[in-house]
Chain A
Amino acid sequence: MIEVSDLRKEFILSRQQRKELNTKDTKAVAVDGINFKCQPGRVFSLLGPNGAGKTTTLRMLSTIFKPTSGTINIAGIDAIADPQEARRKIGFLTGTTGLYARLTPDEVIKYFADLYEVSKSDFEERKDRLYTLLDMHDFKGKRIGKLSTGMKQKVSICRTMIHDPEVVVFDEPTSGLDVITAENIIKLIRDCKNDGKTVIFSSHIMSEVDLLCDDMAIIHKGKMLFDGTMDEFKGQMQAENLTAEFIRIVNASSQSKEAQL
């Protein structure tokens, strides 16, 4: 379970950043008071165009960033008061995550299992299961730098799941991947859902969202524009398809903001 309420994140702008953004504001609001809830056994999708605040939100959920205000509850733990404990419950995977090229998959998986303090028996059992599931046995001893993108993605998945997290956070997990490699991620998300885990993933690809998610939220310029189930979204659609509806909602929000100004 993930529960987020009144979540806000401001970044202090340096002089250089103010110059680059052509603004006199000393702060930039990346996330502006959002609320949502992700249930176990369901897939929650956080949708938004580039720069909407998706990654910042997911980084706050995974405790990399500290929120300016608001609360985050991860599997019953206050992630702001006890980030270390919350991290034990989270598996985090992004499309841009790199791996240690000079290590082997075996070494990387062992390293992360140690960081999560996974017991030896659990580690052996999970490693074997994940290696078989992902067909990793053949390349487990090769240096990661010499593996293909698909193989690397499998190592990333295995690394994310080795501590059997209750909550899995995916930040644009298929970005930059070919269809075959992306399929591994889609399968992983489905498996997590079937195992009763709480899954949240960010994306701007509507087809992927339609394929996987049960609940969704649309975020734009840090504000929440929609929060509900996929069925509710489809039920109130005014455009002819999901992508067109997404664009319509985002554009309507931008126009109303411009009108206010």
Chain B
Amino acid sequence: MKKWLYLLIIVILVMTMVLTACGQSQPAKDTVGSTTGDQQKQDEQKQDESKENVGSEKAELRIFWWGSQDRHDRTIKVIEMFEEKNPDVSIQYEFSGWDGYWEKVAALAAANNLPDVFQQDYQYLAQYAKKGLLEALDPYVERGILDLSDVDESSIVGGKVDGKLYGINLGSNAPCIVYDPALFEQAGVPEPTPDWTWEDYMNAAKTIHEKLDIYADRTFPGGYFHGLKHYVRQHGQKLYSDDGTKLDYSDDKLFEEFFTMELELVKQGALPMPDERLEVKSVEDEFLVTKKAAMAAVHSNQIVAMTKAANRPLKLALLPKHKDQVKEGMYVKPSMFFAVAATSKNKDKAVQFVNYFTNDIEANKVLLAERGVPISSKVREALMPLLNDAQKEMFNFMEVVISNSSPIDPPDPPGHPEVDKLLKNLEEQILYGQLTPAEAAIKFREEANKILAKSAQQ
């Protein structure tokens, strides 16, 4: 008790000292406080005014997404359109780059303050859904607030966790290969068909490298993760078990074969070493764009950005098939979702917004497939005449994917980001000759199972 009293006296004392001693004026704390206070008040006033303008009782929605300048501008415009149509809703939006987005969402989740609608990613969706942070949307579909009648099941299923719909796909894409047809022709290599196999890919890569003295590809198809996942799927297995507690595929041979192929190309110089790959950090210095390679592993929606950067026509190809494949490895992947927070106070309005985003033709004319191919067939039709060549290629390619695919696996388990990192490290160690593919396969199984088991405990 005495101590606290002591402390209080000190506080008062220091205040008087600050204000009196030697009569010098200090930039006192009060002024500062009031300045920020004023700022605050002004902002509040502004908000009040805008409220008054439209009328009484408004449902407030908060929306949060990541993206680039282009996406911000388009999304904000659609939000304004929605507000115009729904004067009873006022939307407070925030956006950020990919950098920092998930940190902020985590903080918001920890403080129980998630936005009503926020962008979700395939690798985090299951985690958030399983923790009860997201609202299951099936009832809203039944009630007709969310209209998915024009949407193919294959575009919906990626947003399901344990059989319930938690995320609405904002655009479909698929891990694939983007290539430069001119370079293929120059090397005398036939362009990939939907039926090309790993052997075809290997041969094409070697020929391109020998004939043109450039790299064939920056990474192996699909990169280390999607590539391996694809390869495992082709053999009728899954990378992760359905409950996400362990690796599902049983044969380490698959891992070994996959990375042996990559190692072979790297050794021949048809693929760059990781040190060189690392230097590509943006679309603009992608090797394909700078003509240092003829192919690149991408998600199909990236062709738009890449064509713009390269300023010449590019095309998309499926990941190679396996000659003895049990099923198709390709699948339709949701590029990103909108999810509704379980804590939202205006869930109906939130879902209504998601519905508008998904189905409204005018809104989608503004969004213009920037997040990937829209899932509604009506929207796709309406957009067709507005698309540029790269976007058309993306739309058409998705049709090819749909007819050469098998259903998507369940969303990645909570341990996925760490497993992904592990796999990346192992790939690098293989390519630098520190581990053989066989050794890496065993290590991957051990470590990944550990990670998955641990993260499943939570």
Partners in one complex: no
Residues of chain B at the chain A interface (Cβ within 8 Å):
none
Residues of chain A at the chain B interface (Cβ within 8 Å):
none
